[in-house]
Amino acid sequence: MASAKKIVCLGAGYVGGPTMAVMALNNPDSQFYVTDQNAARIAAWNSAKLPIFEPGLDAIVEKIRDKNLFFRVINPTLLAEADVVFVCVGTPTKDYGEGKGMAADLQYTELAVRDIEKHCKSGTIIVEKSTVPVKTAEAILQIVNAQAGGKRFEVLSNPEFLAEGTAIQDLMNPDRVLIGHAETNAGVAAAETLKAFYTAWVKSERVLLTNVWSSELSKLVANAFLAQRVSSINSISALCEKTNASVREISRAIGHDSRIGPKFIEASVGFGGSCFKKDILNLVYICRQQGLTEVADYWQAVIDMNDYQMRRFVAQIIEMQFNSVAGKKIAILGFAFKPDTNDTRESPAIYVCKRLIEEKAQLFIHDPQALGNAKKDLAGIDSGVTYTLDIDAATEGAHALVILTQWKDYAALDYAKIFQRMQKPAFIFDGRAIVDAEALHTIGFNVAQIGVRAMRN
């Protein structure tokens, strides 16, 4: 299989699309097919406006689309001709049955794998790219190699370590590429085939080969460690707001410790995205399944702290506005869970907006990329919500501004001008600590910023 030339990706989402685009860019002699059952999503990938926003992705797709990168509705013929199949389907947290609310839902993975077994030729390499529990590769092997047809497949674990907003940069210059394989000659050979695609642009020493279990668990542990850092600094932000300490100064101080470093220690309203919460809950579930109650409780506390951070942020919004936001216009600045993406999965903005809607606030939501997804997230409860790309319309006559995404544009707004157009007293609640609180207080705002004592006029 060293001459693998046709690669099919099942799933045209945040992982499959960018990963195949970068791989195709750097392997021009192979053909890459990004597939999905959703015809509308495939049509979007073939249009001028891609279904996901990721800096740098548009340029790559435009350069190689329909040359060696193709977007197609999945069909048996594509699978029959595939040398390698990447499984990039969704693995959401289960909302039913055993493990509800914690375990990964693998029904879509299993359906994809059964299609692979049915239509692919023997010897096709299956690459699990989705975030999955430990032993998933083993389960896939049992499914595909236990059928009556006598076909045999190799299954590799190749977890993604992408951060939305920097996914293309992460793919082009990864810290590491992890490939887990069966500890057999055939498993090693399959891993070497996949490695060859990556070493077309990644230094060989950064492509790490390991056993499948270690590879699968590494993804969960990496996200758990990163989320733990966020929850740790957020716990300190609550203490800072009760004292005269500044969480920003504390982050700067501990970030200079070479043992800690500056990444993922910026306090905020909470972490979001498709991975952190889901992966930690998955880790908690695995630990409970293995009887490791104390370990499970430890990681559950990371999620609990994140939930606490969001709850207390909303409570402060209500309390500072005289314990009522009913009928008040609240400008929500940002809905995506982070800048440079239109992804709103698990965004703190969802919780914050739902709570404010429950309190009968009139929300004006602004986000440069994520309004489409915001409408989906709040569908059915958004009769009092206005979605707008006009920052003036969002802030005109508002009682309060609530910053929920650290888009650079929000730090550079003319807040003196905005203050003049707002209802008085005017409030700003900075859930991302991106504005100069003292300067806004001088303008006349009542300012509540994560990790510093609130400033009232």
Q: Convert 89-124 to b/e letters by CB count within 10 Å (16 or more is b).
A: bbbebbeeeebeebbbbbebbeebbeebbebbeeeb
Pick the catalytic residue from 88, 240, 275, 287.
275
Q: Report the C-alpha gap between 20 and 76 in whole angstroms.
A: 20
Q: Can 120 be counted among the known catalytic residues?
A: no
CA distances to 41, 86, 264, 270, 282 from 163, rounded to whole Å, are: 22, 19, 12, 16, 19
Residues 6+ apart with CB under 8 A from 293: 287
State the SS3 of the chain: CCCCCEEEEECCCCCHHHHHHHHHHHCCCCEEEEEECCHHHHHHHCCCCCCCCCCCHHHHHHHHECCCEEEEECCHHHHHHCCEEEECCCCCECCCCCCCCCCECCHHHHHHHHHHHHHCCCCCEEEECCCCCCCHHHHHHHHHCCCCCCCCCEEEECCCCCCCCCHHHHHHCCCCEEEEECCCHHHHHHHHHHHHHHCCCCCHHHEEEEEHHHHHHHHHHHHHHHHHHHHHHHHHHHHHHHCCCCHHHHHHHHHCCCCCCCCCCCCCCCCCCCCHHHHHHHHHHHHHHCCCHHHHHHHHHHHHHHHHHHHHHHHHHHHHCCCCCCCCEEEEECCCCCCCCCCCCCCHHHHHHHHHHHCCCEEEEECCCCHHHHHHHCCCCCCCEEEECCHHHHHCCCCEEEECCCCHHHHCCCHHHHHHHCCCCCEEEECCCCCCHHHHHHHCCEEEECCCCCECC
Active-site residue numbers?
A: 275
